[in-house]
Structure 1
Amino acid sequence: MNKEFYSRLDSIYPDMSPTERKIADYLKDADANTCYLSIQELAKAIDVSPSAISRFTKRVGFNSYQEMRLMLADTQENTKEVFFPEIDETDSIMNIAKASFQNGISSLSSTLAILNEDSLTRALAILTNARKCGIFGLGASKIMGEAACQRFLRTSLDTRFFADYHMQLMLSGTLTPQDCALVISHTGRNKDILRIADILRENKVPTIVVTSSASAPLTRKCDVFLFCVSEETKYRPEAISSSISHLMLIDTLFTLYAIKTDSNPEYFTRIRKIVNSTRQ
């Protein structure tokens, strides 16, 4: 099966209904001829209604059943050509470079396909109503946390971030229900970030989570979560490729807040003036 399609199914599988899981399970094991079935034929083969198939295609980010069929028609041979799964140290520099770029492009396109408007709306509401925003991330996600803070410092939202774990613990303890938290974690299973999430929950702090794992414990400790999808290859560990989509989700939240909420352009002007003063 097309690897991007499998990633889409895998990322939202824990939140699927029993009927949706039945369809997903069938498609995961489907052979090459499945792409030639009409929507009625596929529904009969799975023993569900055609309308269930139609709803499923929207659920996994397609505009129509025909669009999903086109992705199913992408054979394993073509998938190998795109994702370079068999490249080794003897391959050309450009082939390895193309594989790296393709991995990032695939992560972005798959993440966009499953992006949920309701989740974005709820996340924006949390940011808009907050007096202060604490940002949390450890390991590779610490870099994403710093990037998020750098962006929101250009807005009127009072934003706090510390690179040190113990400082993040202290920050989580100072936040109140009038504030909010943005927690970034690739796996959503790191015990330290889960400890922070528990403190935030105890303090009833509205929390937004950005993660790559739909079934992670972290998603059960927040008010709204945003998923990113990444492909796994032996050249680009998933935690690296997912960072591209994590950063884009952060940029999306920043842009939504700046356009929909922040009515005072003074902050942008002031920060830009300060930054420009450092250049010759």
Structure 2
Amino acid sequence: MKKLVFVGAGSMAEAMISGIGASGLLPGEQMWVTNRQDTDRLKTLKQKYGIKATYDYEMLFKDADAVVLAMKPKDAAGAIEEIKPYLPEGMLIISVLAGVSIDAIERAAEKSLAVVRAMPNTSAAIGKSATALAVNSHVCETQKMLVQELFNTVGLTTIVEEYQLDAVTGLSGSGPAYIYYLVEAMEKSAAEIGLEKQTAKQLIIQTLLGAAEMLTQSDKEPAQLRFEVTSPGGTTEAGITILEQHGVQSAFVSCIKEATAQSKRLGHLLADQLAAANRHL
């Protein structure tokens, strides 16, 4: 790949630019970016990562190997309408637009495109995203491997069927927020039991890191690891008993199911809006 174009310059675009550049996969001068009108944002990204930025679409898309759609989903219809004259048939399109289907993108562009939908999460900003990819039939094996390489620079990557992306959104797309919510509760409890805030924060973070590493390195199931910490009549058992009494595990299951259902609802809504906007443009 010699030229990668980002349409949209928000946090996810920056995370990808940072990860790709730091990995050495592509130098900054081979990445181009544009946005709607925030020239200060483009200037910041140029100075920070050595990339190129322009509002000249002829220059932006000339000899581009792939285009990343990274604008807000609500702005997708207008953005695709503006850029579609510069997208040749079969162009590799990488979309990080939550809820916008591959079919909706192709219909908006009014041509056949090699589309990869990606569902990263905000941990991409530190190179620790869990990213799921779904591809359409126009994406060749070489293109699929290339996109995997791009997202491997910001974390772990896996290939799924497009219909599974709603589940991915509910599980890992929104997942960091669930963990932060848990940490909020742990911090509140630490204050109530008399631990100083900074000390508690360090203990909580290291506990999470250690548990994650145990899950990574051990071949044991999470339940087995939990049982090994839970001595009969001990402190952990006392705490877990309270969690079970409050239905915490069931609440997490319901949480992820509802987030998945909401992703599906938003996807249908965005597809309808995209189609309606396209008809009127």
Do the structures match in fold with TM over 0.5? no
Provide the TM-score with structure 1 as the length reference.
Answer: 0.26
Query: Which structure's relative contact order is higher, taking Cα pairs within 8 Å and 6+ residues apart?
Result: 1
| Alignment TM-score, normalising by the size of structure 2 | 0.26
